[in-house]
Amino acid sequence: MPEIRVTPLGAGQDVGRSCILVSIAGKNVMLDCGMHMGFNDDRRFPDFSYITRSGRLTDFLDCVIISHFHLDHCGALPYFSEMVGYDGPIYMTHPTQAICPILLEDYRKIAVDKKGEANFFTSQMIKDCMKKVVAVHLHQTVQVDDELEIKAYYAGHVLGAAMFQIKVGSESVVYTGDYNMTPDRHLGAAWIDRCRPNLLITESTYATTIRDSKRCRERDFLKKVHEAVERGGKVLIPVFALGRAQELCILLETFWERMNLKAPIYFSTGLTEKANHYYKLFITWTNQKIRKTFVQRNMFEFKHIKAFDRAFADNPGPMVVFATPGMLHAGQSLQIFRKWAGNEKNMVIMPGYCVQGTVGHKILSGQRKLEMEGRQVLEVKMQVEYMSFSAHADAKGIMQLVGQVEPEGVLLVHGEAKKMEFLKQKIEQELRVSCYMPANGETVTLPTSPSIPVGISLGLLKREMAQGLLPDAKKPRLLHGTLIMKDSNFRLVSSEQALKELGLAEHQLRFTCRVHLHDPRKEQETALRVYSHLKRWAPRSFWLGLGRSGARGGSHCASRQRPQGPLRAAPSRWVRDCGVHPHPGCCPLRGPRHQGAAGVLDLPG
């Protein structure tokens, strides 16, 4: 029996290092190739030895698909292609192709130039890796080879994020990557066809969370920032370069304009310009409001938000700073945090999910004494706030997507084990769909039922619709027709059309059965009574007439085509109603036949 096998090499009961290996109908596809922000050793990259113990990776893998540019989904790509050795195609959208190498280079600079790490990919490796990329458009069906095809769908989340459908013959898998089911200030909501795949592989970052009103969150965020600035404090907002950063910048820009506030707002140097460039270049990926107003006013050209210089961190007075990266695990955001952490007037607002092991996760867990590099202990006195502006789907959004796609099975990745377990039960109970949550290195095998597509002729559909029965997409519908196979293609057509196409003439097969009746009357009288009764029940078109009588032992015999409707179900009822009683031994429904006077009725069977 055909089957689909899925093995997470990363993001199995964990967030970060997304990398899922899928085997479908003899094809092997790797979904994402990310790094883990909670580790600084070999554990930060997936263990690619699971793929194959011997031979080249290119011989085993048919393709690699990258869902979006976040490092936990693409951070290991140059390592995988240039250092481990993969020469096959890598598929991603055009915005991801443009932004991915910039973030990879920033990541390399922090790891190699600042931390001095060895055994890391170089700038040239990033360039060589990107040469293997094949960019795809949304809703474009791409043939990887003669059998394997992929198709991208809009995922929201960040600029260029996409869900992918992987299809081989009649078997298919949908991989969501990270997605958001609600639109925000600069991106639309995720959208996908009702493609009914064999398996849906979905993220589950917020598996147990149902977010409150977006407007309430925005109001609380602005209130907290305003209060901190009013008391003379500094506000640090760690963000990733593209996505949530633009969302919050638009929000603060509008608020500063409305309230006429004077405290400066800064953004990490260079990132504002880069973001502005890419949002201009890929304006079609933004939401409808941004596209409509873009000609008159570019929403990403900010009046109140300026480029940040490191020297500004020591300036007296209030300020708001957006700094990267978003989990306080390295870079400028961590440097500023160390400077400001000791002042209780200051505030850090964490607007998104933080992976376990990062400084962001530690302070959100309540730790106020942190061991930093060189065994220095940092005491955190500044106010710590968590406000979810995450661009991930919450539990309600995940359930909504599963209901929309209508898969045969669901597999959860990119989430914490306990939260996954809760969502797994919810999906199985409410949606009646099998759900899986494998750990890293664990393989899930799903048997698939081969399905054969059959085309239905328009004439046959029209005839069914003429009966007044409206089709229901969720219920199977019985169609009567003739199945024709030609050149390995199947079609269901009406019997008349089939005869015409095949050049055949219609013919009939007729069957008879015999019913014995016991009646003391003369055979002609008996035949007339049976005839008048059947005539009353059966339409004229069903009749072929009565047959000749039998002369054996006073028995009577009549013959006709088997009537339809109520007559077909209860032959004994016709007999009782016309006053003729079946002999108990002669009626086929009453046991073994024996000798005796009987009337005989021949009925087509």
Active site residues: 203
DSSP-based three-state secondary structure for 390: coil
Determine if residue 243 is left, alpha or beta; phi over 0 gives left, psi from -120 to 50 gives alpha, anything else beta. left
Cα–Cα nearest to 200, from 422, 493, 404: 404
| Alpha-carbon dihedral 83, 84, 85, 89, rounded to 10 degrees | -100
**Burial class for 592, CB neighbours closer than 10 Å (0-12, 13-18, 19+):** exposed
**Burial class for 104, CB neighbours closer than 10 Å (0-12, 13-18, 19+):** buried
Report the distance separating Cα 527 and Cα 530, nearest Å: 5
- Helix H segments across 114-213? 123-130
Are 201 and 31 in contact by the 8 Å Cβ rule? The answer is yes
- H-run or E-run covering 306: strand 305-307
User: Cα–Cα distances in Å, from 463 out to 183, 481, 497, 500, 592?
Assistant: 43, 11, 13, 17, 46
Examine residue 563 and say whether the peptide bond preceding it is cis (omega within 30 degrees of 0).
Answer: no
Instruction: Count Cβ atoms below 10 Å from residue 587 Cβ, excluding itself.
Output: 19
| Apex 191 CA angle, 353 and 290, nearest 5 | 75
Residue 289 makes CB contacts below 8 A (sequence gap 6+) with 185
Strands (E), 519-556: none
Instruction: Count Cβ atoms below 10 Å from residue 399 Cβ, excluding itself.
Output: 18
DSSP-based three-state secondary structure for 66: coil
Residue 84 makes CB contacts below 8 A (sequence gap 6+) with 48, 57
- H-run or E-run covering 99: helix 94-108
Place of tokens 């009577």: 556
- Helix H segments across 194-260? 214-230, 244-259
Report the distance separating Cα 279 and Cα 129, nearest Å: 24
